[in-house]
Chain A
Amino acid sequence: MQAHQRMLDPISNGLHSGESPLLRTVGLTKRYGDFLANDSIDIEIWPNEIHALLGENGAGKSTLVKAIYGLIQPSAGEIRWHGDRIVLSGPSEARSRGIGMVFQHFSLFDNLTVAENVALGLDGTESFKDMSARLEQVSKTYGLPLDPRREVWQLSVGERQRIEIVRALMQDPKFLILDEPTAVLTPQEADQLFIVLERLKAEGRAILYISHKLEEVKRLCDTATILRGGKKIQTCNPRLETAASLARMMVGGEIKEVKAAAGRQTTIPRLVVNDLSLAPDEAHGVWLEHISFELKGGEILGIAGVAGNGQDELFAALSGERLSNDPGTVVIEGIAAGHLSITRRRKLGAAFVPEERLGHGTAPRMKLSENALLTGHAASGMVHHGFIDTAATLKTVDRATETFDVRKAKRDPEAASLSGGNLQKFIVGREILRNPAVLVVSQPTWGVDAGAAAVIRQALLDLATAGAAVLVTSQDLDELAEIADRIAVMFHGRLSEPLATRDATREKLGLLMGGSSLEPKEAVHAVGA
């Protein structure tokens, strides 16, 4: 138990020699039926360490941290805490031992205040008043400003994440797990978070940092463990690796580079939005305010922004899932379409790919051929006199499979049985095979493996080259930089002027994502140009 006393000693950093790690998994295995989500994983977490857990979707990162946090029981192997084997009955036992976790998806009640939400997540017995005072103190100490009396629905995504972090810190964890914390932050907010994490590390705590943003990991983390297909591939020092070498370890091979065709010509305006304003259709939804842009054939316009700033509402207004009273607000192929249904808009040549693959883009428990019919019934010759042409729907499945390398167990499986990347390739393929004049796509590569992401981005570029107008909403700035010609930013239901991609630095986009306007001289420059 000698190690015990030295555990939180900040000086014992570095070589780890002669001590036992804070947390260690030995041969940790989790089996779901025949599927090995974690295959005998050994990982060591030391105090004063920010340890990255890298891997593609489905590599087993979530399973591993869920086991460490007591949410699931491993099928085999063990977890050692301070060198002692532990069996966690659930998250509250993990918390009481000093293991905290901040999830990617927040569990907050919109209509409760910050303090009430924190109180609900704590196991302690202290009074609400004491707890509120401690909340304010912790948030001040770590530079995570929060007003305990505000209701959650009024807060930005970044502030909501702060609640989760403060809630975890109030338990004084020795070990904190963060699941993709920067996915919802602007670059500037991410920088602030890194300062907090460095400070936690200096206090002798350990952090397990799940991410797939390699530059971020290289900058922040001392150690990185790479998982692939449920197995541990390597533990390394990310600072001694390049982003490319880390990516190779994650993917297990080279990733195809996405190439834009040289000299793409822009043609006529194919999607025009004129002063579109729309009230939200649910409580705490976002108002769309005076959105205008023009998108020509052969062009890709990217829309950046932190989630929840009106991107979903804009998608619904463009697709026709929500109608506008003024037909002229959305013009597709020169025809005022603001009042037209999604089917009528498809007939005008528009195609749509929503963010949510299962339940929005597809009916999960229906076959791929039926999901081809879902969007293809309007204008793709799949229906004759009300009768379904099954051969035509199957042909679409086959063509999408072939063109976009969709991997599946049989010819026509249920949508839910495909992996995220393969289903996304099918959905994008289904729309592109209709030869749309306008494609509106939301988060095209969200939660998709690198190989599939490259296929999808290339497909979007090729579609633009073929003359279509493509609108891409994404939270991944690297993705937008890779494929978009211009990038606009959404904030509080308003859309900024688009910047040419070569001028759209992370700084500028970050400022716009946080609601600031660009510096006056930029504005003057823009007007003068």
Chain B
Amino acid sequence: MQLVLEKRAERSNTIALVSPLIAIGLTIVTMTILFAILGKNPFLALQAYFVAPLIDSYSLQEIAVKATPLVMIAIGLSLCYLANAWNIGAEGQFLIGAVAGSWIAVKTQGTDAGPWVLPAMLVLAAAAGALYALIPAICKVKFGASEILTSLMLVYVADLLLDYLVRGPWRDPNGFNFPTTAEFDPVATVPLLIEGGRLHLGSIIALLVVAAAAILLGRTIKGFEIRVVGAAPRAARFGGFNANQLIILTFAVSGALAGLAGIIEVAGPVGHLQPGISPGYGFTAIIVAFLGRLNPIGILIAGLFLALTFIGGEQAQIAMKIPLDVTKVFQGILLFYVLACDSLILYRFKLVFPSRQVARGAG
């Protein structure tokens, strides 16, 4: 008896929907085993991860706040991935956006600049993220350099630039030598939706981005172009679509969204520029994009779920002394299972019983 993967005649839409759920189920099983090995009660640990954050209004708001950058970045990444352009450097574009937007906040600090400051910060951050993402895109198109490597390497450049700025020129003179800028002025801060709460305007922007992406991919010729270039490059060229232009475009859009997410995070929940503004949003968003099936609505749900793991991880650390790094392990295992389960969309498992083996050559 033998287990084989058999190709399906047509892709299974049921599995396409169910596959992320199977992946989450398998991840939870694996995590249960992992918690048991760590000597923690798996039931309590899973409760801390997945239940506790959902029964507390502060945590619920916090999930939305964490999901905001994840969803915005993942939407941009999904456009790249659909078009077969592999932007792995959203983390860097996020940081560059945060830095560029903060420049306005830092320069207008303490002046009586008007309400134009925040919109200007958002625009500059998006533009900076887009330009930063264009570096690997142009290297790819002009020189054939692997965008996976170049975009990833630029993450570290952005990280070090941010580090230099907050330790050097932009450091808060009254900040007791901490590597951080001063708190942004109110005009340079993303407004809260509920007074005294955590939810901010960025979450609305993220929802608008989701809606725009859904329309783009589902209804417009540009969205069709993105999908066909990724799914069948030669057919796309025959259709008159230019794959290189699309690499440039999708990288620019995803860079802009990552940059926007970066400034919203800094001018919103954080309130100032400092190292460590991102717990790896740009990388986690890759998982969000795939867990959400590169579909805008799916990404919204996946973003909320991954945000839950961040909050749950903190809860588990506080309540049970489970190291925060376990969250990253969790996310990694999840991505692994998502990609593995995806093969079931085009293939199915089948048990094969070999035909009766007869001694070879016997008459």
Contact surface of A with B, Cβ cutoff 8 Å: 33, 73-76, 83-87, 319-321, 341-343, 346, 352, 354, 356, 359-366, 370, 373-375, 377-378, 383, 386-388, 413-414, 416-417
CB neighbours of B240 from chain A (8 A): 320, 341-343, 346, 377-378
The residue that A86 contacts in the complex, of B220, B231, B235, B361, with Cβ under 8 A, is B361
CB neighbours of A370 from chain B (8 A): 224, 228
Contact surface of B with A, Cβ cutoff 8 Å: 6, 9-11, 219-222, 224, 227-228, 231-232, 234-240, 354-355, 357-358, 360-363
Considering only CB atoms, which chain B residue lies closest to A413 in the complex? B10
Counting from the closest, the 3 A-B pairs by CB-CB distance are: A343-B240, A363-B232, A374-B239
Q: Pick from B238, B358, B360 the residue with the most CB of A within 10 Å.
A: B238
Q: Is A361 touching B360 in the complex (CB atoms < 8 A)?
A: no
CB neighbours of B235 from chain A (8 A): 359-363, 374
The residue that A84 contacts in the complex, of B228, B238, B355, B362, with Cβ under 8 A, is B362
Q: Is A73 touching B220 in the complex (CB atoms < 8 A)?
A: no
CA distance A413 to B224 in the complex (A): 17
Considering only CB atoms, which chain A residue lies closest to B228 in the complex? A363
Q: Is B239 touching A375 in the complex (CB atoms < 8 A)?
A: yes
Given A84-B363, A354-B238, decide whether A366 and B232 contact each other with a Cβ distance below 8 A.
Answer: yes
Given A74-B355, A374-B238, A374-B239, decide whether A365 and B11 contact each other with a Cβ distance below 8 A.
Answer: yes
Q: Is B238 touching A352 in the complex (CB atoms < 8 A)?
A: yes
Given contacts A85-B363, A87-B357, A378-B240, 11 further A-B contacts (CB under 8 A): A75-B355, A84-B363, A87-B358, A346-B240, A363-B231, A366-B228, A375-B238, A377-B224, A377-B240, A387-B219, A388-B220
CA distance A209 to B211 in the complex (A): 59
A133 shortest CB reach to chain B, Å:
33
CB neighbours of B234 from chain A (8 A): 356, 359-360
CB neighbours of B231 from chain A (8 A): 363, 365-366
Q: Is A414 touching B10 in the complex (CB atoms < 8 A)?
A: yes
Considering only CB atoms, which chain B residue lies closest to A356 in the complex? B234
CA distance A86 to B355 in the complex (A): 13
28 A-B interface contacts by CB (under 8 A): A73-B355, A75-B355, A76-B355, A83-B363, A84-B361, A85-B363, A86-B361, A319-B238, A342-B237, A342-B238, A354-B238, A356-B234, A359-B234, A360-B238, A363-B231, A364-B232, A365-B231, A365-B232, A374-B228, A374-B235, A374-B238, A375-B238, A377-B221, A377-B240, A378-B240, A414-B10, A416-B10, A417-B9
CA distance A375 to B236 in the complex (A): 9
CB neighbours of B238 from chain A (8 A): 319, 321, 342, 352, 354, 360-361, 374-375
CB neighbours of B236 from chain A (8 A): 363, 374
CB neighbours of A360 from chain B (8 A): 234-235, 238
Q: Is A33 touching B224 in the complex (CB atoms < 8 A)?
A: no
CB neighbours of A377 from chain B (8 A): 221, 224, 239-240
Q: Is A386 touching B362 in the complex (CB atoms < 8 A)?
A: no
CA distance A84 to B237 in the complex (A): 54
CB neighbours of A356 from chain B (8 A): 234
Q: Is A33 touching B6 in the complex (CB atoms < 8 A)?
A: yes
B285 shortest CB reach to chain A, Å:
25
Considering only CB atoms, which chain A residue lies closest to B223 in the complex? A388
CA distance A413 to B9 in the complex (A): 11
CB neighbours of A364 from chain B (8 A): 232
Q: Is A388 touching B224 in the complex (CB atoms < 8 A)?
A: yes
CA distance A319 to B238 in the complex (A): 8
CA distance A274 to B6 in the complex (A): 51
A424 shortest CB reach to chain B, Å:
15
B81 shortest CB reach to chain A, Å:
15
CB neighbours of B11 from chain A (8 A): 365, 414
Q: Is A417 touching B10 in the complex (CB atoms < 8 A)?
A: yes
The residue that A387 contacts in the complex, of B6, B220, B355, with Cβ under 8 A, is B220
Considering only CB atoms, which chain A residue lies closest to B354 in the complex? A73
CA distance A354 to B237 in the complex (A): 12
Q: Is B239 touching A85 in the complex (CB atoms < 8 A)?
A: no
CA distance A352 to B224 in the complex (A): 20
Q: Is B221 touching A383 in the complex (CB atoms < 8 A)?
A: yes
CA distance A388 to B218 in the complex (A): 9
CA distance A76 to B355 in the complex (A): 7
CA distance A362 to B235 in the complex (A): 6
The residue that A373 contacts in the complex, of B224, B360, B362, B363, with Cβ under 8 A, is B224
CB neighbours of A75 from chain B (8 A): 355
Considering only CB atoms, which chain A residue lies closest to B361 in the complex? A84
Q: Is B355 touching A85 in the complex (CB atoms < 8 A)?
A: no
CB neighbours of A373 from chain B (8 A): 221, 224
The residue that B222 contacts in the complex, of A76, A354, A386, with Cβ under 8 A, is A386
Considering only CB atoms, which chain A residue lies closest to B240 in the complex? A343
CB neighbours of A387 from chain B (8 A): 219-221
Considering only CB atoms, which chain B residue lies closest to A376 in the complex? B239
Considering only CB atoms, which chain A residue lies closest to B221 in the complex? A383
Considering only CB atoms, which chain B residue lies closest to A374 in the complex? B239
The residue that B360 contacts in the complex, of A76, A87, A343, A365, with Cβ under 8 A, is A87
The residue that A388 contacts in the complex, of B221, B354, B358, with Cβ under 8 A, is B221
CB neighbours of A375 from chain B (8 A): 238-239
Considering only CB atoms, which chain B residue lies closest to A382 in the complex? B221
CA distance A86 to B220 in the complex (A): 58
CB neighbours of B10 from chain A (8 A): 413-414, 416-417
CA distance A364 to B239 in the complex (A): 14
A392 shortest CB reach to chain B, Å:
12
CB neighbours of B232 from chain A (8 A): 359, 362-366
A7 shortest CB reach to chain B, Å:
15
A504 shortest CB reach to chain B, Å:
30
CA distance A377 to B239 in the complex (A): 8
